[in-house]
Amino acid sequence: MAEPLKNLLHPALVKTMADHIAAHSAGFDTARFVDVATHDMPRLELMQRAIQIRDALVETLPGDFEHAATVLAASLPQSGRPGLTGWTLLPVSQFVAQKGLGHFDLSLALLKQLTPHFTAEFGIRPFILAEQDRALATIGTWTTDGNHHVRRLASEGTRPRLPWAIRLPALMRDPQPILPILTALLDDPEDYVRRSVANSLNDIAKDHPDLVAAFVGEHIAAASPERRQLLRHASRTLLKKGHTAALSNFGFAALSGIRATVKIQTPQVDFGNALAFTLAIVNEGSAPQQVMIDYAVHHRKANGSLAAKVFKWKSLVLAPGETVTMARQHAMRAITTRQYYPGGHRLEIVVNGTVLADGDFQLVMA
């Protein structure tokens, strides 16, 4: 069984953290810091632990933020010397976000300094909320930084809907201010950075689908394979929803003469096993057609209604008169992001955003 996520922050890590800080802060109360940071820690989840450690920093670091920032910067790894790194920096970035708003430039510089050792994407968001234009003016300069972690911070930290983080409502309403940042990173040499750009664009697509489809259309001409992959990943929500312009960006036109038949091989699925089904798709038209085949599983909810989740399957070109048969198994087993309920479920075959075939199956819970 996997270790609980909350245990990424644990008492031994807190003690190590205290030792690194004490080495650069005369009079730092190590015992008090550890006592506050680890109080009743076993019952706390990850983010609760991070907040408690942040509060311990507030209590024990120098009250003058400039002094505290100097201590924290000195406590980072330098020239092969160990220091604060990894998950210890999650509460550190939260400390900067809470105590450093009155020292805007110093705080952003510190967050930039620590991000190569652990992402500061959560820490910079309160600064964007407080003074968006000022924050983005600084963050925009990071797109040309020599460190790829800093460049990724520019895209990841400004994501309107960053998971686990406070949302950025102004950028959800109007994402135009971050488009120059994302544009500057479209051809970043690091896949780590490009995936962040794609995720940010996908965030934006949930509120502004036409804007993202147009952005992709503008930047896909003569795109390198890497940029094209980024733009495809950025369009994943739009493609699943069958957004016409998004489909057109990747050569998927409105269907003409495409017919599909699905057969469910397991009309009753015992929980823990897989839904098995086959698909036959034929092009009855007179011209080749590029098709993107997805499938949607409509899961039963607690109230008896059904909610669809779309899954990617395959893209191919069908010649006139050609029939292609495919088989798929979809696991119906416990995952952390879904609660399963017994009863009738539905499967749909989605081609270029259009439902062409469907069938029902029963999920049996032991």
User: Over the stretch 35-44, which tens digit does the pLDDT of each residue have?
Assistant: 999 999 999 9
- Domain spans, the chain: 5-249, 258-364
CB contact set of 224 (below 8 Å; sequence gap of 6+): 187
What is the distance between the alpha carbons of residues 104 and 78, in angstroms, rounded to a whole number? 24
Q: Confidence class of residue 253 from pLDDT cuts 50, 70 and 90?
A: confident
Give kind and range of the element (H or E) at residue 73: helix 65-74
- Which residue has 């897989």 as its token pair? 274
User: Over the stretch 221-237, which tens digit does the pLDDT of each residue have?
Assistant: 999 999 999 999 999 99
CB contact set of 159 (below 8 Å; sequence gap of 6+): 121, 165, 168, 196, 199, 200, 203
CB contact set of 308 (below 8 Å; sequence gap of 6+): 296, 297, 298, 299, 348
The predicted structure's pLDDT at residue 240: 87
How many of the other CB atoms lie within 10 Å of CB of 223? 16
Query: Contact, 245 vs 213, CB < 8 A?
Result: yes
Facing residues of 189 across strands? none
User: Over the stretch 43-61, which tens digit does the pLDDT of each residue have?
Assistant: 999 999 999 999 999 999 9
DSSP string, 33-63: HHHHHTTTGGG--HHHHHHHHHHHHHHHS-S
Give kind and range of the element (H or E) at residue 247: helix 244-249
The residue type of 91 is P
Query: Which tokens belong to 179?
Result: 């488009």
Look over the chain and give the mean of its residue pLDDT values, rounded to a whole number: 95
The predicted structure's pLDDT at residue 1: 55
| More confident call, 353 vs 52 | 52
What is the distance between the alpha carbons of residues 36 and 29, in angstroms, rounded to a whole number? 11
Query: Contact, 168 vs 125, CB < 8 A?
Result: yes
Query: Contact, 194 vs 185, CB < 8 A?
Result: yes
CATH code matching the domain that covers 5-249, chosen among 1.25.40.290, 1.10.1740.110, 1.10.730.10, 1.10.472.10: 1.25.40.290
Q: Confidence class of residue 140 from pLDDT cuts 50, 70 and 90?
A: very high
Q: How many CA atoms lie within 13 A of 80 on its CB side?
A: 0
pTM of the complete model: 0.83
Question: Is the predicted pLDDT of residue 3 greater than 80, yes or no?
Answer: no
The predicted structure's pLDDT at residue 164: 85
* CATH level 2 (architecture), domain 258-364: Sandwich (2.60)
